[in-house]
Amino acid sequence: MDTALTRLVGVRHPIVQTGMGWVAGPRLVSAAANAGALGVLGSATMTVDGLREAVREVKSRTDAPFGVNLRADAADAGDRVRIILDEGVRVASFALAPSRELIAELKEAGVIVVPSVGARRHAEKVAAWGADAVVVQGGEGGGHTGEVATTVLLPQVVDAVDIPVVAAGGFFDGRGLVAALAYGAAGVAMGTRFLLTSDSTVPDAVKARYLAATVRDVTVTRAVDGLPHRMLRTDLVAALENSGRARRLLHAVRRAAGFRRLSGLTWPQLVRDGLAMRHGKDLTWSQVLLAANTPMLLRSAMVDGRTDLGVMASGQVAGVIDDLPSCAELVERIMKEAEAVRERLTAAP
């Protein structure tokens, strides 16, 4: 299936496996890339050296194009961009809008810049600054998310910008892909669906929690880091929502200390990252620290398998997913379904 996305990036299928912290590592990304999708490494939770190693590992496992997701506002974003340039990574994906200067620098070096946005005005801004394409995430999507549903946000953005738009939030099958194309998108980007594959390194016990979830078990809360964050509703989430300020601050400091050790960041860098994540919102100090240490909470689940202690970021779509195909099986299935849907739509009544 030939779309503006496949032409821009050089992938076989108009499907993106999004950059997810602790989830989108070399194994998942290379499996997605070998399946013909655009795999994207989640680098926000990697050290700078870890990112370089991960990029090299993906390159050793596939010749297909792939991307790196990073936070443009991270204290060490410059070092990460250097790796993208030095290692010849095809696509730079951003969790928050990169600056006009950063977009220009990457584009000059031949890197395709694809920021993720959750609102029309952000899409307009990055398009005006020269982004090559944009991933638009509707409110049903996993992780940090907005309020507007994909079915409303996607046509709004498609009408507002003239660069390729990739639809995210709630996609898992071939029907969704065709629906996104019908809205004018150039493809779909999926997080939760790729987390739930046999190629993802997320521990089995954690995958089982996602598979068991119904659509009503996925919630949006600000209790974890002060920003709207979509995740599985667990006892931890309920406890955070019900705990007082002092307890939350203690919890935040403990977690932040752990993340600092792992990431090699200094306390000032950590606090700067937390402040940057406020997005100009009025957060308390405990929320700033919580924002900075969200990576630790995700890690407990995604790496250590602690469904009791960790945060399991998730799209609503977890409620309709009940299997763990390989990336190759998943992508092939989606493309077959999409073709069948298109044939049905164009067949004489």
Which residues would be at the binding site for ligand FMN (CB under 6 A)? 18-21, 23, 42, 44, 69, 95, 116, 137, 140-143, 168-171, 190-193, 195, 313-315, 317
Edge-to-edge strand order for the sheet containing 143-144? 143-144, 229-232, 218-221
* Integer Cα distance of 261 and 10 in angstroms: 38
Type and span of the H or E element at 293: none
Residue whose CB is less far from ligand FMN, 83 or 168:
168
In 3D space, the residue among 269, 291, 267 whose CA is nearest the CA of residue 279 turns out to be 291
Phi-psi region of 10 (alpha: psi -120 to 50; beta: other; left: phi over 0): left
Quote the least distance from Cβ 168 to ligand FMN, whole Å: 4
Quote the least distance from Cβ 70 to ligand FMN, whole Å: 8
Quote the least distance from Cβ 21 to ligand FMN, whole Å: 4
Residue 66 main-chain phi, psi, to 5 deg? -150, 175
Contact 131, 79 (CB under 8 A): no
Quote the least distance from Cβ 275 to ligand FMN, whole Å: 18
Residue whose CB is less far from ligand FMN, 142 or 226:
142
Q: Which amino acid is at 292?
A: A
Residue whose CB is less far from ligand FMN, 21 or 226:
21
Residue whose CB is less far from ligand FMN, 127 or 134:
134
Q: How far is CA 2 from the centre of its chain?
A: 24
Comparing every residue's Cβ against ligand FMN, the nearest one is 191
Contact 40, 30 (CB under 8 A): no
Residue whose CB is less far from ligand FMN, 187 or 191:
191
Quote the least distance from Cβ 253 to ligand FMN, whole Å: 22
Point out which residues pair with 68 in neighbouring strands: 41, 92
Residue whose CB is less far from ligand FMN, 6 or 116:
116
* Integer Cα distance of 295 and 310 in angstroms: 10
Quote the least distance from Cβ 346 to ligand FMN, whole Å: 27
Contact 186, 165 (CB under 8 A): yes
